[in-house]
Amino acid sequence: MASLLGLGVLLTITATIAGTPARDATPYKVVCYFESWAVYRTGKGKYDVEDIDPYICTHYVYTFAGLKNDHTIVSLDPWNDLYADYGRGAYLRFTRMKQKNPEIKTMLSIGGWNEGSKKYSQMASTAANRKKFINSVVKFLHKFNFDGLDLDWEYPTLRGGAPDDVDNYSLLLKELHERLNPLGLLLSAAVSAGKQTIDPAYHLADLNKYLDIVNVMTYDYHGDWDPFIGHNSPLYLSHLDVEHGNNFEYFSVNYSMNYYLRVIEPSKLMLGMPFYGRGFVLANSEHHTPYDPSNGPMAGCPYSGEPGFCGYNELCEKILKPTWTYVRDSEQKVIYGYKGNTWVGWDDLQAVKLKMEFLKSLGLGGAMIWAIDSDDFRGVCGPKYPLLNLVWSELNGAVPSPSPLPTTTPDPTAPTHHTRPTKPTPPPGPTPEPSHVCVKPGLNPDPDKMCSPYFYECVQNGDSWDYQQFSCGDGSVFDRVKLVCVWPDDSDECKTTPAPSA
């Protein structure tokens, strides 16, 4: 997502919350962003759609789609995202997770830091442009079976945007909501945690009115863009933030979430959780307190390769060792460590637990994770997904299982310790009878022609099938055994049935 750039005028918000706001019995949301480019990482850091556990988040968000100059949505990585032209079809593989766990939602995010703001400003500037964009979004979501759109415009009025963006952003949200909501499609947005960004970019009342989910990016408060060291995501302010001034009085999760809570319903707000740390090179290895001078970012970590950035999996595997010195900041309620001239601030299990307690104290709707592929997903340092499992268990109790073991009938007189009631998951309905096109869920070959470039994505819809036709790239065919696009010479069926002419 993005670094925060200055954060505004002083406003004091108390960190003491009296009691826990009432909630209904529905689970807290756990919104997990998936960095699709993680498939290009090497070694143990490589992460693909099939590495995702579909039971430890409620919403999975694929990043990122982009915006064409004609104001329509587009894949930013067609080879990885699509099946066409020998592609890997990650969009459809991602949304097929719902076949394993029908309770989840799979969404598509458009934008991100690298997309910038200028194109989005131009798209939102006229009713005609917005309509063209929204029409393309609806077709795109249906084509790839997504459950909704996540808008990650960073940021209206800034980074090449225009002053009118703040009003046009509201119009865009309104028109997206009016189109998506009747179709049962969700609308969420990733929004800044910084006051100086929030104030010119958003009408908060409209975020509350038109968004189903508001993902607050409560991280990147500090990083290598600063001339000093500072924690990535402090829960609370320290006295140093106040003493330093220059807008740093707002650089805390507590301030950001309370700022949104002035206007937005708590149940819509997701607290952003960074599954990564930010690291620096100390200007002087003897000076390692926040706001001490930095000589820039630490070297990139082995999987992500970005200077100053390190995923939790990289930290636990490669960086943080017993030879480091660790400090638990009593004011900010986070941890940092240093060795020699290297300094890193990140969220460990204790920091995550404190943030989940804070989330519940405010009655927020749940947590947002950036990003699922930066957790210790292989379990190299211990159990798999330690951070994400802690988030889920702190919010919703035991992590769901795809095949729960039979249990004995409980004693009705025994005491219970559940924090909220849960409804049993109904057994899945019967698979529909095979149709002319669809024999099974997922990919099905052309039913009418052998050695054909056409294939179908089939999705169960009650007692019938929904399907979408696709075509392999020019000159290739869909192999009905391998279920991939291949050259005709590599397909057994084409040896007896010539491929159709172009």
Q: Which domain CATH number covers 199?
A: 3.20.20.80
Please check whether residue 235 is in contact with residue 347, taking contact to mean a CB–CB distance below 8 angstroms.
Answer: no
Domain end call among 337, 365, 396: 396
Separation CA 111–CA 215 (nearest Å):
14
Q: How far is CA 475 from CA 216, 276, 471, 489, 495, in A?
A: 46, 44, 11, 11, 15
Q: Are residues 178 and 266 in the same domain?
A: yes
Which of 396, 426, 457 is the endpoint of a domain?
396
Residue 85 lies in a domain: yes
Residues 66 and 197 in one domain: yes
Q: Note the pLDDT tens digit of each residue in 158-200.
A: 999 999 999 999 999 999 999 999 999 999 999 999 999 999 9
Q: Among 82-96, 381-395, 402-416, which is the least confidently predicted range?
A: 402-416
Rounded Cα–Cα distance for residues 313 and 310 (Å): 8
- Burial label for 204, CB within 10 Å (0-12, 13-18, 19+), is middle
**Which two three-digit tokens encode residue 2?**
């993005």
246 shares a domain with 157: yes
Mean pLDDT of 236-262: 91
Asked whether residue 127 is assigned to any structural domain, the reply reads yes
Distances (CA, A) of 223 to 338, 350, 457, 469: 15, 22, 43, 46
User: Do 451 and 354 sit in the same domain of this protein?
Assistant: no
- Pairwise CA distance, residues 122 & 462, whole Å: 41
Has residue 37 got a pLDDT over 60? Answer: yes
Encoding tokens for residue 73?
A: 């949505």
**How many domains is the chain built from?**
2
The C-alpha angle 467, 473, 436, rounded to 5 degrees, equals 30
Asked if residue 294 lies in contact with residue 282, where contact means CB atoms within 8 angstroms, the answer is yes
Q: Given the structure tokens 């992460």, which residue do they identify?
A: 47
State residue 62 phi and psi, 5-degree precision: -85, 130
Question: DSSP assignment of 141-207, as one string?
Answer: HHHTT-SEEEEE-S-TTSTT--TTHHHHHHHHHHHHHHHHGGGT-EEEEEEE--HHHHHHH--HHHH
Shared-domain flag, residues 391 and 449: no
| pLDDT interval class at 497 (50, 70, 90) | confident
Are β-strands 186-192 and 334-339 bridged in parallel, bridged antiparallel, or unpaired? unpaired
Per-residue pLDDT at 266 exceeds 70: yes
Residues 90 and 196 in one domain: yes
Task: Outline where 232-291 has alpha helix (H).
Answer: 239-244, 253-261
Q: Please check the confidence at residue 209 and state whether its pLDDT lies above 70.
A: yes
Query: Residue 500: its pLDDT value, please?
Result: 58
Among 11-20, 65-74, 436-445, the range with the most confident prediction by mean pLDDT is 65-74
Active site residue 115: no
Is residue 387 located within the same domain as residue 454?
no
- Name the more confident of 315 and 414: 315
Indicate whether 253 belongs to any domain: yes
Q: Residues 77, 171: one domain?
A: yes
The answer on pLDDT for 415 being more than 80 is no
**Considering the domain boundaries, does residue 378 fall inside one?**
yes
Average pLDDT over residues 91-111: 97
Q: Is residue 358 part of a domain?
A: yes
Q: What pTM value is reported for the model?
A: 0.79
Q: Please, what sign has the CA dihedral across residues 376, 381, 385, 388?
A: negative
**Per-residue pLDDT at 125 exceeds 70:** yes
* Whether residue 492 sits in one domain with residue 353: no
Antiparallel, parallel or unpaired: β 148-152 and 105-111: parallel
CA-based end-to-end distance of the chain:
43
Same domain? 357 vs 248:
yes
Is 64 within 8 Å of 76 (Cβ atoms)? yes
- Report if residue 213 sits inside a domain: yes
Residue 306 has pLDDT above 60, yes or no: yes
For residue 335, the surrounding DSSP H or E stretch is: strand 334-339
CA dist 156 and 177 (Å) reads 18
Using pLDDT thresholds of 50, 70 and 90, give the confidence band for residue 90.
very high
Average pLDDT over residues 461-483: 74
Domain with 452 in it: 442-496
Residue 347 confidence class, pLDDT cut points 50, 70, 90: very high
Q: What sign has the CA pseudo-torsion 159, 161, 166, 171?
A: negative
Rounded alpha-carbon distances, angstroms, from residue 74 to 71, 82, 109, 358: 9, 11, 11, 38
Boundary-marking domain end, from 330, 362, 396: 396
Q: Quick one: 105 and 216 in the same domain?
A: yes
Q: Say whether pLDDT at 14 is over 50.
A: no
Name the H helices within 245-363: 253-261, 312-314, 349-361
Tell me if 405 is assigned to some domain. no
Task: Name the token pair of 351.
Answer: 């920091």
Q: Residue 124: pLDDT band by 50, 70, 90 thresholds?
A: very high
List strands edge to edge, sheet with 442-445: 442-445, 454-461, 464-471
Task: Express each pLDDT in 374-396 by its tens digit.
Answer: 999 999 999 999 999 999 999 99
Q: What is the pLDDT of residue 430?
A: 58
Query: Annotated catalytic residue: which of 35, 154, 317, 493?
Result: 154
| 356 and 487 within one domain | no
Q: What is the mean pLDDT of the chain?
A: 87
In a domain, residue 197? The reply is: yes
